[in-house]
Every structure is written in C-alpha cells, then in structure tokens.
Structure 1
Amino acid sequence: MRELELPKVDLSGLDLTCLNQKTWAKARADIDDALKHFGAFEVVYDEVGSELRGGLFGQAVPDLFAVPDIEKLISASEVPSHELGTKVVLPSHKDPNYISIISQHNIGGLEIETSNGEWISTNPIKNSFTVLIGEAFMAWTNGRFQAPRHRVKMDRSKERYSVVFSTIPSFSNDVINPPKELVDEEHPLLFKSFKYYDYVNFRFSDEGERHNDALKFYCDA
C-alpha cells in the first residue's frame, strides 16, 4: 500500500509582482484544496537558499544549544528520557495560532493526522517547508479549513533539529471573528467571537487540558 503524503505545492519561480498569472492561480487552488482536506501541505520554495539554511542550522541552532547549562536551566523542561528507539517526543496536539511554518533539518519526525485517523510522516526535502494551520485560523475561516493534530516522533540515537515560524495576532487586535462572507445558510457560524490570548490562557489551564477539543468547548456557537 502506498504511503500517505501531504500535498506538495511548488512556489519556485513565481513572480511576486504579477499575482494574476496562471501559475499563481494554480498555486492558490492547490493550497485551498490541501487546507480543506489536510489542514497542511509541503511547500517548495527555492528563494530560501542553502546559504540561509546553512546559517540557521549550521550556526544559529548549534550556538543556541551550546549555551552554558546554567542558562539552559532558566527554561528547562522535564528531564528527557534516555531510552533508545523511536518514540513520540511531542504528543498529538493542535496549535492555537494562525499558521506554523516548519523547517526540518535532514531528519524528519513531524507527523500529521488525517481526518480518518491515519498519520502522515513528513520528510525534509531540499528547499521545502511544512505549513499547517492552527485553531485561530480554523475559527477565522469558520471551519472551512481544519487545524490538524500533529506530533513528533524521533529516533533517540540521532540528533534532530527543526525550526518553527509561527504567526499570531497582535496583543492590541486579537479578536478572532470570521468575515461575514464566510457565514451563510450553508455555513452557519461555528465559533463565537473570542480573544486569542484569553483562549490561549484557557487552553493551557488545567481545565483546558481536560478537553480533547478545547476550542469547541470554549467558543462553540
């Protein structure tokens, strides 16, 4: 049986000064289809070259992990397990934000759950990123796009680096409310208007952690 894959969208060579060209229309249609069915996709973009990636993973990330232990203890997480083998190191969850853009360096591990409960493994390829939407964007689209659950599995005998770029609302304008164009008789309002940072505080509270779908509990219309 063929292994499931995320849709791939190639943005290489697209002209940012000519957004009405046919190639942009195809890219938009591909992204729309991917987000409706998976809430995520792999994007290939050759404008982010090897020099930038080399500076990020070859210098910035190693420098970060090389800081003295006394500094690391300031924001230390729980003690990691030293068991070998492939393990889930980041449990299944949805991001509360708008969009996450994830760059994995050489070694994959990110897995995206489909609507029928299957898991798709993402493996880094040259000039690629994994894009997935969060709960805020799902609510803003009135559920047209679904935020996917995802997790990270890794072989503990190997070093794995990844960088996540995340978009979130500003503190002064964090009300999430779908545009009126996305609410009609066929698509009734699914989520009440809510403030993003109030929801984040609830989501990571003891009560929020008890709910499998915290967003639905918090602002279900």
Structure 2
Amino acid sequence: MGSNSKQVSEIPIVDLTGLQPSLPSGERWEAAKAAAAAALQSHGFFEAIYPSLSAELRGEMLGRAAPEFFSLPLESKRRSTSEEPYQGYIGQAAPIPYESLRIDAVDSPIAVQDLTRLMWPQGNPTFFNAVVAFAKPLRDLAEMVQEMILQSLGVDQKHYDALVNLTDHGLRLSHYGVPVNQETEIALFPHLDPNLLSIVCQHEIGGLEFQIAGGSWVNAEPSPTSVHVMAGLAFQAWSNMSVRAPMHRVRMLGNEKRFSAIYGTRPSHNSIVKSPEELADAGRGPLLYKPFNYTELVRFLCSKQGMGHSPEDAFNSYCKLQN
C-alpha cells in the first residue's frame, strides 16, 4: 500500500444485523440510524454489517454467475446497449482493464428474465436465479438506509414517498483485470457516483478505496458479512448536503481478476431532483442546489465540457446555487 493510503480503521462501521425496512423503529433501529446518518455526513460512506446477504448468495452471484457472463463472447455482451451513459454493457477501454454490465429494474423478475434471455437466448436459470436472490436483500438494505437518512433529516413523510416513487433500482456487475500501469495500480479512476446510493459487494479480492479528509485514501477490505454503502451526488443535492458523495477508486494490488457487484438507487429517467424546502429551515442554512433533471445531469457529467473539470467542480457548476 502506498504512503498516501490508510487502513480500514478509518471507515465507519454500522451494524444492521436483523433490521428490516418494514420495521423502521425500535432501539436498535435508532442506534443504527444515528450511526448511518453521522457516517454519511462526515465521510459519505460506511461499512454495513449485513449478514442477510449470505455467503451462499455472494458465491452464486460473484463466484459463478458474474464470471459466466463476462466469459461470454464480446458480441454477446454487446447485445445489452443503451444510448445513455453508464447503461448496459461497458467494454474495456484502454488503459483501464474494466468491463461492467448494469441490470436495470433489477427488482423486477421480468426485467431480469428479459436481460437473461438477451444474453442467453436458450435461457439460463442459474444466472436468473442468482441475480433475483442476490438483489432482494440489497434492495432491503438500500430502502433501510434511505429511510434512516430521511428520518434523521426530519422531513415530512410525503417527501420520502415521493423519493421512493421516483427511484430506480439497478445492479452493476463489474470485472477488473490487472492494471496496465503497474506503478499506479489503478483499475478504475477516482470518481463520484451521480446517483442516490451505491452498495458495493466485493468478492474475495478487494481494491475499493475511499478518499477522506486531507486527501489520503482508505482501503475497504472485502468481508463475507458486510458491504460498503456510499452516497451519490443526487442524494447530496436532495439532502442539501446533509450527506456527501465520497471520491472513490479501485486499485488492484495483485494479479488476480476481481469481481464486484454494486446495487444502486437513482432518480428515474428525466425525474427532477429538488431539495425539500424544510431543509433550509431549523438553522440548516439556505438551499444549496437548484432543481435539476437527473438524466441531463448524467449526460453533462459525461460530456466533453463536464469531463473537462474535476467531478465535484462539474457537478457544482451544473446545479449548485451561487450564494
């Protein structure tokens, strides 16, 4: 590990064992809610102890189903296409040995079945079952964290309902090879996620790193009983910066392939992200972001103009109010 990296002790830990989104109350819920809110405010991320995502589910998804997909011929993987950035299959682009597949509407078995048949016209029940089973506890986790944050902000229930009704769920499967640049060992450049929440599940081989105050990086070690939760830019804006999107990257320190899965929530296509007015009350200060179209934001961040700035500067130039 390089001199600008720190160890895992810098990562906040929140125990969500046994908690359910259908029971958003009680002593353990309140303790976890306080810890999650504090972590996302101070760091933008935390390690969630979450044994509901069992070792069996992880193994079926990341030890079997994901490698099976990425071993398909390139022409097969390219059947999943989209004109929108970060959608469908993303192939390797030098010098980054990275490829991924985003499964849209992963909370819908019909959508997962359609994607499966697109990849394997003859069908692939093993892949389909692995994705559906793996996604269920992660959807529960995403809903829990979002509700905890909204409870901690004290906003009206109608705002939570509106956010949920405009939220899409997806699962990104990723495959990392050995970096071309062995000096930097960068397998995915530092970036901010534009969405609401990302839940990262690493399988056996780590590599995820978060940037913390002062510019140093912390290594998020994989664990069979935990995942890493981080806020995205849309949630940072919606919450009026009560949660913060963290810079993160992937470094590959060995010569083994790495597979990971990211469960993500995001505003639905062309929906408007707007902070509740009450977040400017109670001494929180003025609203910091103007309402914006989420789809247009992502397009801007991926444009030549957006990519000509740092991720944070590009985001602020697009939707931050000038005070």
Q: Name the Cα RMSD after superposition.
A: 2.0
- Out of 135, 139, 148, the position equivalent to 2:233 is 135
Aligned residues: 219
CA distance in 1, matches of 2:237, 2:13: 24
- Out of 180, 188, 194, the position equivalent to 1:96 is 194
Moved more, 100-109 or 73-82: 73-82
CA distance in 1, matches of 2:223, 2:230: 17
Deviations 1:41-93 (A, max 9, x none): 00011111122112101221111111024435675332445455660111111
1:64 and 2:69 matched = yes
CA distance in 1, matches of 2:293, 2:235: 13
CA distance in 2, matches of 1:178, 1:60: 39
Q: Which residue of 2 aligns with 1:154?
A: 252
Name structure 2 gaps, 5 residues minimum. 1-5, 80-89, 98-178
Moved more, 156-165 or 89-98: 156-165
Assess if the C-alpha contact under 8 Å between 2:63 and 2:203 holds in 1.
no
Assess if the C-alpha contact under 8 Å between 1:83 and 1:156 holds in 2.
no
CA distance in 1, matches of 2:184, 2:320: 37
Deviations 1:117-171 (A, max 9, x none): 1211100112211100110000001111111100000035111111111111112
CA distance in 1, matches of 2:191, 2:269: 24
Per the normalisation by structure 2, the TM-score is 0.63
1:216 and 2:216 matched = no
- Out of 274, 282, 285, the position equivalent to 1:177 is 274
Q: Identity across aligned pairs (percent)? A: 38
CA distance in 2, matches of 1:220, 1:15: 35
CA distance in 2, matches of 1:95, 1:110: 14
Q: Which residue of 1 aligns with 2:185?
A: 87
SS in structure 2 of the partner of residue 206 of structure 1: coil
1:44 and 2:141 matched = no
CA distance in 2, matches of 1:113, 1:15: 30
SS in structure 2 of the partner of residue 32 of structure 1: helix
Q: Taking structure 1 as reference, are residues 71 and 20 closer, same or farther at Cα in structure 2, changes over 3 Å only?
A: closer
